[in-house]
Structure 1
């Protein structure tokens, strides 16, 4: 059984005080509910830790289950009515098809050995750095689940599902279930869609262009579509560019400075954390959302001498939303092969 050193104990007490002050409570070592205003501030801090979360929507809602909250016209709304014969009929701002969301209990619980706190205590601003590290882990896990989550299990298992596949249904899984006609994959699982010379698509441009054609025409030319492309596909394309042009120093420098690609299929293209390695997604940033229930955030900081560690419990209800289903098209990573 260990114990905190005097210096580490002082840092741990500072961490307690910082948490109590941040959330306007008396004691951070007791389970406490984070007030909605503070939950929003905490969420904003988490969002700032990873660039991708700053691009999409991360929204606090009051109900654990309900209608999507973002407004976005599902197609044109302008016209004219002969009011002598007909009433004017306004266009609903919401996509009425599959317009619901549901949130699920989500825990991010971490621990820190007394010995680690002892080692870190000599560095300035230990409490701030620790809180930032926890926030970044929450941010990264949100993205990991968003791309890889396929189900919601009552008891999750990180050993069996290291990509957190059992924590929640992410965006790609929701597309598979709600809009399977907009998820491109081989009809025969044994046959792959080949990208490259002589394949089903001669290059990545052609593949992205084809995925874009699955987007509802009313969204296709609004000017905000982007392509998110898997790392293996980008690496394969980069390798071909180097093979063709990389022997010339000026060309090699140009490829590096431009990060090899800026557009594919006429769309701005991005590499994001944890996205399936051979997948292609066409959507817009504001079509991807994470909802959290602003009254559900719970936190508890515990000193556990039985395990010689400090334990930090973070819980909230959250879920994933595709705001407009017609604006989402995906090429399934498992069905792709590069040639």
Structure 2
């Protein structure tokens, strides 16, 4: 059978159907015995035994605060918490913090990839064949191997890998550090396996994470995002860059690829891979050539005036010409006195240690000193 209709008949039938649906809805709304027990069923299903506080940071060091909902000993839900200190009326707040990566972190506890006991490889490397062994057996094998290697090749031939899962658990590997130091073993820098930290800063300052807090980005006129991708790897803090851009900061991303960070930046500079050093040196050349440097700031706040030994290209240190002198005491040539002077703020305590309340605070203030920024001199050591 073939069904046919006209446009007029179809529209007329549609109007009748719409009216019938409308009146039917009115009749249902007036019914008093509406079934609502499903709400109680869902409430009872999603009740929690307890709510605990925790933090998340999948090697981003974000440590974002979360409320963690636990039922029958299992994490079922997590919620971000915005309980962070107010930074001031002229800068954005830190909170709320967190990302999808952090929300999924608890899945590691229940994943098949989690190792809960010692495993020994029984097949070829890469085959994925393992057998479970006891803790006593595992520790005995490791200890025997340590002794054999240390006796044959020396303790420095043994090294440890922290693993990416341990980077944020500093207390967890403190014992391993101590164990290694006692035996004279080698521990690479904890981020060595990741390779995404500024190595130059670590080598120069002895600390891999120098810098100001994130609100400082909001107050800057120009911000360079170089060799990093905070839109993907620093999600909790990335909003500072974008809010700074809306506030008038020129955010420049220097990256060979058009990354998620480059998409959101004011300007994208894409040098060829491996040419970053040439780009940086070219920028420095232009700054010096065109006198775009605040020399008073450079002399006081940087190590540019420090004297460098011509023989080995290392900084001149107090230990070079003072018996028992410190290795972290540096000098510059003072144009006012015509002789080397100790650079203020060097040769004292660990800069990252808590201040001593019984000592006068260390300062970089130059006072009457006038450091030279170029030249060559002879210093007896």
Q: TM-score, normalised by structure 1?
A: 0.28
Structure number with greater Rg is: 2
TM-score for both structures, normalised by structure 2: 0.25
Q: Report which of the two has the higher share of strand.
A: 1
Larger RCO: Structure 1 or Structure 2 (Cα < 8 Å, ≥ 6 residues apart)?
1
